[in-house]
Each structure stands twice: as C-alpha cells, then as structure tokens.
Amino acid sequence: MKENLNPDWLGSEEGDEIYRENIIDHFKNPRNYGEIVEAEIKHSELNAICGDMIRLFVKFKEGKVEDVKFKGNGCAISMATTSMMTEILKEKTLEEIKKLKKEDIFEMLGIKLGVVRMKCGLLCLNTLMKGVEQMEGKDGIKN
Ligand code: FES
C-alpha cells in the first residue's frame, strides 16, 4: 500500500510526535528485513481488509530466538510494528513469545489506533502466533 506519512491516524494527540517519528523511521528503515532459509518458523499472514502481507522467519537455538527476519508489503503501521516486534523477539524463549499480547504491540507503537488500523498493527502478532502454532503442529499444516 502507498502510504501518506502525515495522516491524522498516525497519532494526533499531544506527545504523539516522538512515536510518529519512530513509526516512520521503522517504516522507512525496517529492522531485520530479509529472510532466514533455515528457520523453524516461516509463516505468512494476510490482512484480509487490504491484502497486505507479512512473512516472518524465526530461528531458534538452545530454546531461544537466535535470529528473526521479515519480509512484506504493507502500510506504515503494519511494517513499523513488525520491525519493532522483531527487535524484541531476540533471545526470547518460546514460552515468553507465547505470552506476548496485543497490548505489548500497542505499547511499542505508542499511539492509539482506530479499529481498522488495529488490524494493521496486529498483523505482526497474528503472523507470529500462527507461525508458532504451525511450528508446534497445532494447525495441521506443514511449513
Ligand atoms: Fe494493509 Fe495496513 S493497510 S496492513
């Protein structure tokens, strides 16, 4: 999606400026962008509303996340939240990952999102959790 980087939804309250700059920075310079060939989690999810997609790669070593990368196409919020999420995943155990909640994503983002934009913001977490289920064989689908 083409993104207007100064829209009203990108935080309009006092004090949002610092978060807005952080979001735009992650969108323009996504951290951990790329792919991992030998990853335990390789999972893609789509935002059904807009068709934007994220593919997430997570590699574990000795029970902790050794590396994480992502690829995708999406709006500033979806790309920025995914970039931010990859930064907090390193060194986490699987159990710690499973405890991540949508509130953790919104806290990283720092601005309030409307209902439609929430789907953008949570695409990263949905991709991660579906990827975990897939890795554990709970969804019956193989990578
Ligand atoms: Fe597609 Fe945000 S508009 S993920």
Rounded Cα–Cα distance for residues 20 and 74 (Å) = 17
Q: How far is the CA of 52 from the centre of ligand 1 (A)?
A: 6
Ligand 1 binding pocket includes 75 (Cβ within 6 Å): yes
Q: Are 56 and 68 in contact (CB under 8 A)?
A: yes
Domain that holds residue 73: 7-135
What phi and psi, each to the nearest 5 degrees, are found at residue 42? Answer: -135, 100
| Rounded-to-10 torsion of CA 47, 1, 36, 129 | -20
In the chain the beta strands, taken as DSSP E runs, fall at 41-46, 53-61, 64-73
Per-residue pLDDT tens over the stretch 102-135: 999 999 999 989 888 999 999 999 999 999 999 9
Considering the domain boundaries, does residue 20 fall inside one? Answer: yes
Ligand 1 binding pocket includes 1 (Cβ within 6 Å): yes
pTM of the predicted structure, to 2 decimals:
0.89
Ligand 1 binding pocket includes 77 (Cβ within 6 Å): yes
Per-residue pLDDT tens over the stretch 28-84: 999 999 999 999 999 999 999 999 999 999 999 999 999 999 999 899 999 999 999
Q: Total domain count for the chain?
A: 1
Q: How far is the CA of 13 from the centre of ligand 1 (A)?
A: 22
Selection from 46, 138, 41 nearest residue 94 by Cα: 41
Q: How far is the CA of 79 from the centre of ligand 1 (A)?
A: 9
Considering the domain boundaries, does residue 127 fall inside one? Answer: yes
